[in-house]
Amino acid sequence: MKKIALGCDHGGLDIKNAVRDYLEAQKIAYTDFGTFNTDSVDYPEFALKVADAVANGDYESGIICCGTGIGVSMVANKVKGIRAAVVTDEFCAEMTRRHNNANVLCMGGRVIDRVKAVKLAEIFLNTEFDGGRHEKRINMITEIENR
Ligand code: RB5
């Protein structure tokens, strides 16, 4: 069964909570690694918790939200085995799964609203990797990571 790791900073709290409510409603297992209120926090701390949880195999995918989605994606992509993508539209939510086999979705609470965040999470979680010619490219990313 899919298990999702969730996280955010204060800038992404609202959309993270919307995604959390969606996962609850769909009975999809998840852990919310925080933050849990609007106090200002440092996004690297929360992004790293989610990225580590996915990288160590405890969770199939991660969803991390900050103000833009950019900071958390930078952090997550520093972790070996993580392919994190900042997504703001439906097409990219689908393609980053189909072509990039992304395992972490990053979104910005100052960029998209709650409804869009849930839609993008839904697409991300329900789209499979195409494999085939894309497999080789993902392996090339892994090789770069292992240099
Ligand atoms: C916090 O103000 C903001 O910098 C953060 O949420 C994020 O947008 C960073 O990329």
Could you list the pLDDT tens digit for every one of the 147 residues in the chain? 579 999 999 999 999 999 999 999 999 999 999 999 999 999 999 999 999 999 999 999 999 999 999 999 999 999 999 999 999 999 999 999 999 999 999 999 999 999 999 999 999 999 999 999 999 999 999 999 999
Structure tokens given for 53: 């949880």
Structure tokens given for 118: 């849930």
Counted domains in the chain: 1
Contact 67 CB / ligand 1 (< 6 Å): yes
- Read off the pTM: 0.98
Residue range of the domain that includes 81? 3-145
Structure tokens given for 129: 């990797």
Catalytic residues: 66, 99
**How buried is 132 (Cβ within 10 angstroms: 0-12 exposed, 13-18 middle, 19+ buried)?**
exposed
**How many angstroms does the Cα of residue 30 sit away from the middle of ligand 1?**
23
Residue 3's DSSP bridge partners are 29
Q: Which residue has the tokens 């994606």?
A: 73
Q: Are 23 and 60 in contact (CB under 8 A)?
A: no
Q: What is the CATH number of the domain that holds 45?
A: 3.40.1400.10
**How many angstroms does the Cα of residue 28 sit away from the middle of ligand 1?**
27
What DSSP string runs through 41-106?
--HHHHHHHHHHHHHTTS-SEEEEEESSSHHHHHHHTTSTT--EEE--SHHHHHHHHHTT---EEE
